[in-house]
Structure 1
Amino acid sequence: MNNCFFLFVCLFVSVFHIFTFLMRHFVFFIAEGTEVYFLKEGERISLTCSKCTQENYDGLYLYHRFLDHRYHKEKEVLFFNSRFPKPSVRSDFTHKVDWNGSFSNLSITIRNLSANNEGVYRCVYHSQGKKDTSCQTYILHVKEGTEVYFLMEGEDISLTCSQCTQENYDGLYLYQRFLDHRYDKENEVLFFGSRFSKPSVRDDFIDIDVGNGSFSNLSITIRNLSANNEGLYSCVYRSYGKMDTCQTYILHVKEQKNDTIKTPEPERCHVSQNLMTAVILVCLFFSVVIAFILLFPRVKQRVKKENHTEENGPMNPQSSTEYVYEDMRKNPVYSRVGPVQRPQA
């Protein structure tokens, strides 16, 4: 326990100094007025372009640029001329973009998002002979719409299949493909025809229940999961000449082990031996440095005194205090007063 406390203290001090260094030398920022969104494929997002000054502008542009800079030049998504009653959407976004509002305050909705819609979007107002004004900036991060589940054998899981566009589809299919690709072809789990009142489940999947729901929003529950239920599940809506994969799920099913019940042991601090060794070496290094700083002045003073004694060498007998004392006895001080008078017999 003492070792763990010592280790955590050292790590805390190190992290604090690293954080202080980063804050002093680096600045991470997003431009003021930028809104950032994290979305999944198939979702929708509404962006608002509105005038940020009182200038009279000729046109409104919505530009798009990829985050990874695959194209250096911004791509025009939409243009709204102030003299026209409605904006014009470029061909690449015709089936994905809806709009609502006016020239000075326009709401733009992008439907059925995909990885190609990820990037930076700018609302730019333009006037002839003047500098363009960028009023709003949005950053969209679009994540693949796959949900991953880690389950144990015998558990249940509910999957939802719902339409991701406003198209009129003829049928809904739920497909399964094994993760280890034992079969190249997907297995059909369920089919729901738009003209039928309920879906039909294939014979190989008897443990599937279909709860309350509709063709456009169906909840599917797989009960008593086993290793055979592991894999990739896709909700696919089909119509003549068109197919959209709206939801994707990955199920990892782990085997249930019947382990003997063990008495829980007290919680211990498990620390990597290499990490512990590194921390101890660092602390020892700083201890040696501190000891050197404290002892160096004393050692230096003592060495200096010894060197001074060696330079002076042994004392000269003529200058020895002992010989001076002997001279003083041979020539007593009281001899200067006069001869000593001795009493007569």
Structure 2
Amino acid sequence: MSWLVTGGAGYIGSHVVRALQADGLAPVVVDDLSSGFERFVPEGVPFVNATILDQAALETAIKDHGVEGVIHLAGFKYAGVSVQRPLHTYAQNVQGTATLLEAMMATGVGSIVFSSSAATFGTPDVDLVTEDTPTNPESPYGESKLIGEWLLRDVATAHGLGHTSLRYFNVVGSGTPELFDASPHNLFPLVFDALAKGGTPRINGDDYATPDGTCVRDYVHVADLAHSHVVAARKLAAGETLERVYNLGSGDGVSVRQIMDAVRDVTGIDFTPEIAPRRPGDPARIVATGELAARDLDWAMRHDLRSMVASAWEARQNAGVNYPN
């Protein structure tokens, strides 16, 4: 029996695939390579080049590989861009999830771990976000992830689906040098790419009500995240009931300036970040507790900020990007 990983050729998905292998579970990858890389799929892991909007392809993959559960990571993940592309976002994230669930029901697959997002919270007016913090998404992306959670809930009511949704903020680092974050919108790649081009990384606003004036967020290591996805899969496969949602949060957060300082230290490239105006809608601080996930999913922050930066830097250099000495 095996577990289907949608989006398994992507940055997070490829780490989940390796975590499944390490835990003795057989992964099967479905990915349309719109943002992933086939070379991220380990040798010997079945790979199906298909979109999650293709129900027939999903059903075939499930039947051909004896799939018992799904870890659903595929989707359009760019919150800012989703404002300009709402229909595309809903097609990929809502219709895609509905199609996947249809394929699961048609083939008798009864367990799913859903990659949700802290974007479901919007801008919460609390110092520490918990699973009980009200959701108020502020982008089509955040809305689509919340609808995905609702779809799982409603299918569970109708068909007894075993499920849980994992919400998290900024995923960084690398668990192995051949896997890197290639997103054009995430902070670490943006900083590294600016340095590669001889430019200056940018901080958007340094006058927030935080200790150093820059925004504070959760940054979690991708390998820690992948581990808890696999623990959730194991528990669902064993018939255990999990909470409907879990936050994979750090509990304290890291500021943008702290990240810049760590990048300077790790890379040895001396730079002073450019201070740009605030971006509209950026809250000063969004940090979540991971206590519930620590209780049920063996969630822990096993990597500090320096190791997050160092592992991401090694993987980015291994990708063949040239940086100044």
Give the TM-score, by structure 2 length: 0.21
Structure with the largest fraction of helix? 2
The structure with the larger Rg is 1
Higher relative contact order (CA 8 A, sep 6+): 2
TM-score w.r.t. length of structure 1 = 0.21
Structure number having the greater strand percentage: 1
